[in-house]
Amino acid sequence: MAESIQKIKEQLQAASIQELPAFIEAYSADIRGGVQKLITAAEKRLESHEKEVIRTENLKHYEREYAAFAHICGIDEVGRGPLAGPVVAGAVILPKDCDILYINDSKQLSEKKREELYDIIMEKAVACGIGYATPERIDEINILQATYEAMRDAIRSLKVQPDILLNDAVTIPGVNIKQVPIIKGDAKSISIGAASIIAKVTRDRLMVEYDKVFPQYDFAGNKGYGSAAHIQALKKFGPTPIHRRSFIHNFVQEN
């Protein structure tokens, strides 16, 4: 008696990528339409995985170029533009044989995928560091200088000293480590992409916590950015302690 299509479907759902070729071979001769649809789904999944492997390998271009350096660190920041909350920088040193797939510019990923990758990066990375600049500090020294400060803090918090920094677009002053600024680096370097993910997830989680303290502003939804509802709440309720005074003067007048 032929195996039921439902059982075969359950096998496919449970199969790892490595098991897909054997699955396809085992059932390719089954002419039932439902089975052939499952075979097609398995082939598409395998093809998608192979494309992602190629994309990820292409993301390692700079890591290969600077492979002579033992510890290559990607640097990126999140939160330059919001009206509220800190700017957060991430620093990540990935292993030379890094096999993490789906790393990309954090803005190109869904929240669910970012959260998944955050856990994987934190588990597999040689070292991860996070740096912050508070709203008060942003107002005091301006957003660019505060971003540099957060990046320096992220580097200092690493448990392993990097030999070279791959930065998203900037050269960080006051750092005595070789730096390579890469325009749109979070989409061109796996190390910078990983840094962008841990910075984004860290900051988003922080803004969700702030939402519990200041629920009128929907920080969980807008993450401090100037959405229409956020600006309306700002005008109605005034600024919170986490608002950047230098960013909100167009919306509220303070004495």
Residues 194/100, Cβ–Cβ less than 8 Å:
yes
- Edge-to-edge strands, sheet with 178-182: 127-133, 87-93, 72-78, 164-168, 178-182
Q: Which of 1.20.120.80, 3.30.420.10, 3.40.50.720, 3.40.50.11610 is the CATH number of 61-201?
A: 3.30.420.10
Beta pairing, strands 72-78 & 87-93: antiparallel
pLDDT in tens, 59-102: 999 999 999 999 999 999 999 999 999 999 999 999 998 999 99
Residues 100/121, Cβ–Cβ less than 8 Å:
yes
Is the pLDDT at 1 greater than 70? The verdict is no
CA pair distance 212, 107, nearest whole angstrom: 24
% of residues, the chain, pLDDT over 70: 99
CA pair distance 25, 15, nearest whole angstrom: 13
Query: Looking at residue 254, what is its pLDDT?
Result: 63
What one-letter code names the amino acid at 189?
A: S
Hey, what are 236's tokens? Answer: 């109605």
Query: Looking at residue 33, what is its pLDDT?
Result: 92
For residue 162, what are the contacts with CB-CB under 8 A and spacing of at least 6? 71, 72, 73, 91, 93, 155, 177
pLDDT in tens, 142-171: 999 999 999 999 999 999 999 999 999 999
- pLDDT classification of 105: cutoffs 50, 70, 90: confident
Give the pTM.
0.89
Query: Looking at residue 2, what is its pLDDT?
Result: 74
* Residues 37-50, mean pLDDT to the nearest whole number: 93
Hey, what are 120's tokens? Answer: 């994987």
Average pLDDT, the chain: 95
Is the pLDDT at 250 greater than 90? The verdict is no
User: What is the dihedral sign for C-alpha 64, 68, 71, 72?
Assistant: negative
